[in-house]
Amino acid sequence: MDDDANTGAMIVPAFWGEARLQVKHSGRSVTVRRFGWADDSQASADLHALERAQASLDLILAGQPVPRREQRTNYGVLGVPIREQIVSRHADGVIVTRNSYGALCLNAPNVLFADVDFEPRPAGCAVTLAMAPVGLLVGLAAGLASQTWGVGAVAALATLLALHLVLSQWRRWRHAHAGGGPEARTTARIAAFVLAHPDWHLRVYRTPAGLRVLAMQRTFDPLDPEVAACFHALGADRLYATLCKVQRCFRARLSAKPWRAGVRSHIRPVKAAWSSDQAQRPDRLAWIAAYEAQASAFAACHFVESLGDTSRVDPAAQRVAELHDAMSGAFSRLPLA
């Protein structure tokens, strides 16, 4: 597998190309497809795609187990960088992009963000707990009233099933509320991390689904083991932690998720990885205008508090914090979305 995107600093290319090479080898047709990218021109992106396709084809012909094609995605996997529209560029290599569903995202090569979602509330717990006693009583009544072995056995089975549902749902409820509930447990993990790392300076933000943490005391390489240790200790979202390593950057959503802001339609084109020819599509521009009008009434997060050694502030982290807070509505009174 190629690792172009993982050998240097984080990149979000402006131009994308795709190359397809096909040859006959040992009596069989071998086809390879590869993406290419560049910041200066479409021609450079096309050339890069051709070079990557040729390199992969050479490996395949040499007997190496190399994939014939790459996944077409926005999120920077399998050796391909982040494929999103660049909205603005900022100091320290920071780039703001529009993601696959239309929200704005901050991409920072070395300023650590961690997303820590609250544990989801068990689905259907209240309904099951309410219905299980009914099933229990019905089963017991049917068993007592029955004069036949078959009906009695079924009633006994129903009774045992109802008891099992009651006990399992009670255990889930007890876990969900242990330690004050998911939010309290998440807050406690962050507090414990700061206690164990008194030289860290963390800014904590509330998001619709949990908390966002921003490290201010220094910058980090996303591949630094200390980053992985931090994510693990905080209970950071596993997919987010994986993408940080693959993309060689840290991300933070800056604007509302469309469906939370009341936008029911999807950005155009639907489910298409970004390419520069989409920039001026009338349907895409119309969707963005409608989305931004509605998203302006919401914040992506709210600032909660600063923890740890607040005297330690890295200049790059400070610039990122200022940009993040301004674009996310962190100090506004707007509802979260």
Q: Does residue 167 surpass a pLDDT of 80?
A: no
Sign of CA dihedral 318, 323, 327, 332: positive
Beta pairing class for 210-215 and 104-108: unpaired
pLDDT at 178 over 60: no
Alpha helices in the chain (DSSP H): 42-61, 125-145, 149-177, 182-196, 225-234, 238-247, 282-295, 315-328
Task: Please return the burial class of 263, using the count of CB atoms within 10 Å of its CB with bins 0-12, 13-18 and 19+.
Answer: buried
Higher pLDDT, 3 or 97: 97
Give the pairing of strands 201-206 and 15-25.
unpaired
Q: Is the pLDDT of residue 8 over 50?
A: no
Domain ranges (residues) in the chain: 4-81, 88-118+181-328, 125-179
| C-alpha closest to that of 247 among 226, 269, 272, 227 | 227
Q: Cβ neighbours of residue 30 under 8 Å, at least 6 residues apart?
A: 22, 23, 24, 57, 60, 61, 68
> Which residue bears the tokens 């290419």?
36
Collapsing DSSP to helix, strand or coil, 104 comes out as strand
For 245, counting Cβ atoms within 10 Å of its Cβ (0-12 exposed, 13-18 middle, 19+ buried), the class is middle
- Cβ atoms of residues 107 and 97 within 8 Å: yes
- The 10s digit of each residue's pLDDT in 265-275 is 999 998 888 99
Backbone angles phi, psi at 93, to 5 degrees: 75, 10
Nearest to 245 by CA among 72, 112, 70: 112
Burial 203-234 (b: 16+ CB within 10 A, else e): bbbbbbebbbbbbbbbbbebeeeebeebbeeb
Please state, in angstroms and rounded to a whole number, the distance separating the CA atoms of residues 1 and 287.
36
Helix (H, G, I), strand (E, B) or coil at 118: coil
Which is more confident, 77 or 226?
Answer: 226
CA pair distance 271, 283, nearest whole angstrom: 14
For residue range 101-160, what is the model confidence (pLDDT) as tens digits? 999 999 999 999 999 999 754 444 444 444 445 555 555 555 556 566 565 556 556 666
Indicate whether this model's pTM tops 0.85: no
204 near 304, Cβ under 8 Å?
yes
pLDDT band at 75 (very low <50, low <70, confident <90, very high): confident
Tens-digit pLDDT profile for residues 234-261: 999 999 999 999 889 999 999 999 999 9
